[in-house]
A = this chain, B = another copy of it.
Amino acid sequence: MTLILSNEDVEKLLTMPDCIDALEEAYLELAEGRGITRQRSDCITPTSYSEDAVYGLKSMDGVVPKLGVSAIRINSDIITNPRVGNSHRRVKVPAAPNDRYVGLVLLFSTHNGEPLAIFPDGVLQHIRVGATNGLGIKYMARENAETVGILGSGWQAETQLTAVCAVRKIRTIRCFSPNRENREAFCVRMSEMLGITVTPVEQPEDAIGGADIVMCGTNSIDPIFYQKWVEPGMHLSSIKKPEIEPAAIRAAQKVVVHTHDTAPMLVVAKGAKFQEATKDTGWNAAQGLDFKKFPTLPELIAGRVTGRDAEEDVTCFLNNLGLGYQFAAAGSVIYQRAVEQGVGHALPTDWFTETVHP
């Protein structure tokens, strides 16, 4: 049978510790060259949805032979580019029937090629970002780290906190985000979810000062963490490059990035209004930081570099780019649990296979 799973199923089946374990094993395989992943591809065209929007077909994939799975993640998006201040944001529109987004993961077996499962990417997309930063913390933060300052109160912040609590015995969490209402609601919700008091604070400095681990979990395209806030022994964690000021990155004794993979393979059709939105802010290049020189998380997990040499070291993990590989690794757990628990719509595998030679 081939399983069709929902986001609700994935949320129930995949715990953060399980996802962290699967990624850890998969990254070791990746570092050793036994697991592989390919560069993301983006095909962008005009769409009849609106003149200002574009259609995007995005895919990324990866294979983890040790876990017996491969996965391809596909997004079929309507994207608009509203102007926000001086820059343009990319906004996905839930344009599919019933106001829904379209992102799918297809999971296959490397043992016999069969399609194992099809499920939406949304929940896993969030958990894998958290799990990846969680691994950065596991290998780089001080063993005795117990205080977290988090910037952000959206869904990214939620999975970031779940992840840090899975790898360290956290006792204190302070959260800043610009909108008081959001951060207060977030803190109430997360306190209940984690069983640890998450305290809303009025200024970023109040969250960061004295924190063992600083987590940036926002969608900001400008720095939100500055060098002046760096304290000895701190671990800095970011879910995207621009969040941490380059000077703060330079202040760290150890910096590790998620991957050296290059930017997506981009194919843009004539007439697609896409250029403005992809314009590089120049944050990276202008600051002279060469991300290729930092070791990667798989290299760190494989023991080729150390994450921290001394208690007072400042360490920094930058989750710079996602990989299709993550969907395969975590997908293997989701599938295994779904089979064990009898979750999902089980369709005949013959519907997704064929006797005709392809």
Contact = CB atoms under 8 A, between A and B. Distances in A.
Interface residues of A, number: 81
A253 interface: no
Interface in A34-59: 34-39, 41, 43-49, 55, 57, 59
Interface stretch (A16-24, A121-129, A180-188, A302-310): A121-129
Given A36-B268, A155-B357, A356-B7, A111 B63 contact: no
A116 to B, nearest CB: 10
Contact of A353 (B120, B125, B355): B120
A351 B45 contact: no
Given A76-B108, A112-B49, A112-B97, A102 B43 contact: no
A118 interface: yes
Contact of A111 (B33, B48, B110, B267): B48
Interface in A60-95: 61-63, 65, 68, 70, 72, 74-78, 92, 94-95
Interface of A: 4, 6-7, 32-39, 41, 43-49, 55, 57, 59, 61-63, 65, 68, 70, 72, 74-78, 92, 94-104, 106, 108-115, 118, 120-123, 125-126, 155, 265, 267-271, 345, 347, 349-358
The 10 tightest CB contacts between A and B, nearest first, are A122-B356, A103-B358, A33-B270, A100-B353, A120-B354, A76-B108, A96-B114, A95-B112, A55-B110, A76-B113
